Structure 1
Amino acid sequence: MQTVKDVMTTGVVYLPSETPIAEVARTMREQDIGDVVVADGPSLAGMVTDRDLVVRAVAEGRDPEATTVGEVMTRELVTVRPEDTIQQAALLMRDRAVRRLLVCDDDQGLVGVVSIGDLAERIDPESVLGGISSADPNN
């Protein structure tokens, strides 16, 4: 059985909550990622996704240089453990209506992120979502 550790992304990008969302968007573009973990010192404060930036900032007409990531991030973090199965992770995403889960280990804390696309590629690579997720990104 495949575990979350087998499919998670380990290169987590962190930014402080006072970071302007314009900088967050540039970081996402440069790193080719769709999410950033928001941390204040050693504490996890939340997570922001590209969709959060659009729905909570751009659509609201907020100034991207004056609005901080702390103002638009999701504060409720949903987590899984590296040894959980990918099926457990998929069910948790469904039940909590989220597209990404933070992967936390008892000893090391946050060790990765797993997305719905990561799971689709492994659970059903022939599906439309699996195919989209495995395709090269548009630049």
Structure 2
Amino acid sequence: MQTVRDVMTTRVVTLPPETTLVDAAQTMRQQDIGDIVVADGHGPAGLVTDRDIVVRAVAERRDPGSTTIGEIQTPDLVTVRPDDTVQSVALLMRDNAIRRVVVCDHDDQLVGIVSIGDLAEEIDPDSVLGGISRANPNN
């Protein structure tokens, strides 16, 4: 049975909550990612996605140069362990209607992230979603 460790992305970008949306968006562009884990010095405190920036800030006419990721983050992280099964994580994501989960070790240290695309590639690589997830991003 496959585990989270087999499918998770270990290259996770973290930024402090006082990071502005402009800086976070530039980091996302430079790193070619769509999410950032907000870390407060005690571990993961929240998650911000490119969609969060659009829906929670830009659409609300908030100033991206002064609004911080800490202000718009999703604070209630759903976390999993590296040894959890891929199937259990897929069910957790479905039940919580989320697209990403943060992976923490037994000391609650951040070790990875799993997206719905990661699961699609692993569970059904021939599916349309699996194919989209494997495709090179548009720049």
In the aligned structure 2, how far is the partner of 1:59 from the partner of 1:24? 17
In the aligned structure 2, how far is the partner of 1:81 from the partner of 1:124? 22
5+ residue gaps in structure 2?
none
Q: Which residue pairs with 1:129 in the alignment?
A: 129
Residue 107 of structure 1 and its aligned partner are, at CA, apart by 3.8
Q: Which residue pairs with 2:89 in the alignment?
A: 89
The SS at the match of 1:42 is coil
In the aligned structure 2, how far is the partner of 1:39 from the partner of 1:111? 13
In the aligned structure 2, how far is the partner of 1:44 from the partner of 1:34? 17
In the aligned structure 2, how far is the partner of 1:103 from the partner of 1:44? 10
Identity %: 71
The SS at the match of 1:47 is strand
The SS at the match of 2:27 is helix
Q: Which residue pairs with 1:51 in the alignment?
A: 51
In the aligned structure 2, how far is the partner of 1:76 from the partner of 1:91? 18
The one-letter code matched in structure 1 to 2:112 is G
What's the RMSD between the two structures over aligned residues?
1.0
Is residue 74 from structure 1 mapped to residue 74 from structure 2 by the alignment?
Answer: yes
The SS at the match of 2:39 is strand
Following TM superposition, the consecutive aligned residue runs of length 4 or more in structure 1 with deviations greater than 2 angstroms are none
In the aligned structure 1, how far is the partner of 2:25 from the partner of 2:73? 13
In the aligned structure 2, how far is the partner of 1:48 from the partner of 1:5? 22
The one-letter code matched in structure 2 to 1:136 is N
Aligned residues: 139
Q: Which residue pairs with 1:61 in the alignment?
A: 61
In the aligned structure 2, how far is the partner of 1:84 from the partner of 1:45? 21
In the aligned structure 2, how far is the partner of 1:55 from the partner of 1:108? 29
In the aligned structure 1, how far is the partner of 2:24 from the partner of 2:86? 29
Is residue 104 from structure 1 mapped to residue 93 from structure 2 by the alignment?
Answer: no
Q: Which residue pairs with 1:14 in the alignment?
A: 14
TM normalised by structure 2 equals 0.96
Residue 44 of structure 1 and its aligned partner are, at CA, apart by 2.3
Residue 128 of structure 1 and its aligned partner are, at CA, apart by 1.0
TM normalised by structure 1 equals 0.96
The SS at the match of 2:126 is coil
